Structure formats: structure tokens, C-alpha cells
């Protein structure tokens, strides 16, 4: 269900490289949540780093929404750069598996497959 890969890069370098890879692959970065900073600012002891990128390709999103408007709750795609025990990782929930659990609409399989291929490519390029 997950696609997570380890990077030899620092957290900051992997974050910058993911941002570049998203744009290179025809997607846009809608927002980046700094989950680690948010938790620490709320007084939660959290030693790891975690940034969540909300990424979207508007053409693919429109296809998903045309098939099943309820799937707006699963958009945009999210890719995370995070640390775990001193190692930098980049990962996501696989779009194909997630959408197949949320809808039985046959036309979504192709869209989800295309998005999954692109987001895996982004992660691998940033790694």
C-alpha cells in the first residue's frame, strides 16, 4: 500500500529535490506542510523531521472528480519527506490501491496508474 524509499541525502536536500522533481514531472506543489515544526510549535515532543507535499496534476484531478466527486476527499496526492532514526525517507500511499478501495469506477484505474507511475518517478528522482 505504501511506496517508501530511503535516501542518502539530507532531509533538506531531499525536500528541495522533491520540489524540483514534482515540477519537472508536470505536477504542481499546492502546499507543503511542515508537520514536524507544527507539532513542536504545539508543545509536542517530536524529534523527527516531516514535510508533506500536496501535489496535483489538474488534468488528472479533473478526471478523478468527473468519475466520482466524492474522491475530492482523497485529493491532492501527498508525498512525504521524513526522517526516521537518522535516515531520510521519501514516501506516499500508492494511488492505485487507495483509489481502488474508495471507488469501483473502472475509469479510475487508468488515471490512478498514470498518477502512481508519475509520483513514483518523482520520489525516485528526489531520492
CATH code of residue 6: 3.30.310.70
Cα–Cα dist 51/57, whole Å = 20
Cα–Cα dist 94/86, whole Å = 24
* Res. 7: pLDDT tops 90: yes
User: Which pLDDT belongs to residue 19?
Assistant: 98
| Count of structural domains, the chain | 1
Cα–Cα dist 115/117, whole Å = 5
* Res. 107: pLDDT tops 90: no
User: Which pLDDT belongs to residue 106?
Assistant: 85
Cα–Cα dist 10/24, whole Å = 21
Strand partners, 53: 32, 79
Domain with 60 in it? 2-126
* Phi, psi (deg, nearest 5) at residue 115: -65, -40
pLDDT per residue as tens digits for the range 42-78:
999 999 999 999 999 999 999 999 999 999 999 999 9
Q: What is the pTM of this model?
A: 0.94
**Residue 105, all three cell numbers:** 469506477
Mean pLDDT of 112-127: 97
User: Which pLDDT belongs to residue 126?
Assistant: 98
Amino acid at each position: 500500500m505504501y511506496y517508501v524509499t530511503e535516501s542518502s541525502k539530507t532531509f533538506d536536500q531531499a525536500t528541495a529535490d522533491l520540489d524540483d522533481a514534482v515540477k519537472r514531472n508536470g505536477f504542481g506543489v499546492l502546499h507543503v506542510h511542515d508537520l514536524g515544526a507544527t507539532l513542536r510549535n504545539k508543545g509536542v515532543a517530536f524529534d523527527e523531521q516531516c514535510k508533506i507535499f500536496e501535489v496535483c496534476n489538474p488534468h488528472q484531478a479533473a478526471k478523478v472528480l468527473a468519475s466520482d466527486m466524492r474522491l475530492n476527499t482523497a485529493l491532492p496526492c501527498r508525498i512525504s519527506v521524513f526522517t526516521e532514526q537518522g535516515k531520510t525517507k521519501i514516501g506516499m500511499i500508492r494511488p492505485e490501491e487507495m483509489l481502488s478501495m474508495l471507488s469501483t469506477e473502472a475509469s479510475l484505474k487508468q488515471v490512478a496508474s498514470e498518477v502512481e507511475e508519475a509520483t513514483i518517478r518523482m520520489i525516485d528522482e528526489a531520492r
